[in-house]
Structure 1
């Protein structure tokens, strides 16, 4: 029992101090700051500044979930469902990163958060000219440009239907009948002519333009032998690229991986110069400029594209 006049000790609990957090959003490949990223800490949301920073205060101590989201609108991309005819699906180029920094009492915690950045490789353009059966270039053409002096496409070594593409020899026509030929010679000659015409029809079917197209002829990078292309170290020019054609469709790849244009060009050159085989066209089967370009895309691990046209 307390006597009158005695002081009473009252315990007062000390209020826990709050902490601060400085989030810095950085490019996962280059460590460059990223402006305009949405940073969420608990229920508080801010946007990173030109230095990639977003500052938060009056935070409770302990671990706080932190989320960073950035929509790279210029790099919104499409993926192929079908290459020809073109069927694509659109996607938003959004990156998300999560972290759980520990907030200390009365101090500022710093957290660097790495974010994958979507980039359009404008220097690289995949061109596609449509098939035009009644036109000058009835098969169309697909070619890939990596630099002004670096473009690749797959061609027949000689024009389709050319005699140098033949893989069989034409049948020999029977000699003319002498004027004094008897009926037996005439009957044999008639049979020989009929056989010759049948063999010639088979030969024309196999060695004509359609036959060579379906069967296949020698293939060649950039059509150097007969179409005016170039393929030598330091200078690779597909005839359509050299002629200033832009095609009916154009695509640039979109990436978020850590790579550089020089490495991509080196890989593209190595793939293209080692490519071999026939040239044949059976719609999307066979081995032609379409299948070559798609194989090159796969080799470079490209699967996202900015549609130019």
Structure 2
């Protein structure tokens, strides 16, 4: 069976100097894509800047006969984001694939999270993903082709101790990815999200800090690495999913995929059928409490693909007349 071929595509991978980003850049280059390896070069504790990580990945790609160029711009500024995309256009003539991988972690208990630690994480993960995607989006529309991969986290969907800033940023990415998928679909711009669970230098550094903050590595305070079971994937084991999502063959958009511990799965958002007060203008708080079981009943549910789609589901689930199941107040 032949693997994916990307000889005619240019990819931009942010945060590509180490860890998962490095694995994505190498995997895309191995399949023939020209790659812009973007990395500011901050340490695992989010300090400083260093050109060496991006340069080393570029050198590795070139030694293997691939095409790559280094970018050292910060994705967290408009000028930096535009410069990353412009480098792809100037060097390779297009931007076809964008992997929004740049990130940082600054663990802290929520009660004492500093504004600096909040904004630094939001700026890199969420604002950076927004700005680089916006810079690339117009070019992708013109060519009627684009593959945008956003990198979120199961922390965004399910929470995690000591990572309120990280969870907030990664949850914002889920909304951003859905918006880009909806606006880009008619122009051939496809956007999907991955939630990788892999062991990287940055994740290991954060793991140690979080365990220290929580005072425990079990139960509700557990981190991913502390849960019993198979080990997290290596970065190379996550890369094939990102390559697949980047390929011409992938046509689905707006989805979220969790990968780790030997499994790839889709993560989706659903709404229950819910409870319909017989008179929405006169129900009270006590009625909500008394009908909580109907509100939370998952026997029947829908999976909206957009905000208007949820409104259509509400209409579809509505009882035909007062007195039907779910239509009366307590």
TM-score using structure 1 length:
0.20
Higher helix share: 2
More strand as a share of residues? 1
